[in-house]
Amino acid sequence: MTYTYRYKSPLGGMTLASDGTYLTGLWFDGQKYFGSTLEKEYEEKELSIFEKTSRWLDIYFSGQEPEFTVPIRLTGTDFQKKVWEILCSIPYGQTMTYGEIAKRIAFKKGLQKMSAQAVGGAVGHNPFSLIIPCHRVVGADGNLTGYAGGIEKKAWLLELEKRG
């Protein structure tokens, strides 16, 4: 069974999903690919994983970097998981380009190069907004590009982290 919980963030509503033990998704309401890991039927319920995630979000939105992690269950292709792992390595308040991520993956695979567009596709399908910090990925020239939650949210989140 999949369970959901609603969280009110400064940027609007968010939906959390869980299998009862792990967080299985976290999305801004209405974002692109919203609910990508949700089963057709789910039930709203208060769970300890949602309490922990809400604490994490409260700390994050207060402008601080949470000092604990939320247990998540990743569902995706091997390529997506490699990209998401790199996203998790981007320090709070810093950014990385799609091209830099592509170069890291190419190096790990022993390839000459990797498509930054393929990386962008994996970044965009990240089912864990904020926890897997896809908002920290920028275009080659440092411009804000693509964010499933919307560019205005991406700009707000990066500004929040700069202040923190």
Query: So which residues are the catalytic ones?
Result: 134
- Measure the CA–CA gap between 153 and 114, rounded to whole angstroms: 28
CB-based contact 53:71 (threshold 8 Å): no
Q: How far apart are the first and last CA of the chain?
A: 37
Alpha-carbon gap, residue 58 to 13, rounded angstroms: 13
Q: What is the 3-state secondary structure (H, E, C) of 2-30?
A: EEEEEEEECCEEEEEEECCCCEEEEEECC
Give the angle 85-89-91 at the CA atoms, nearest 5°: 150
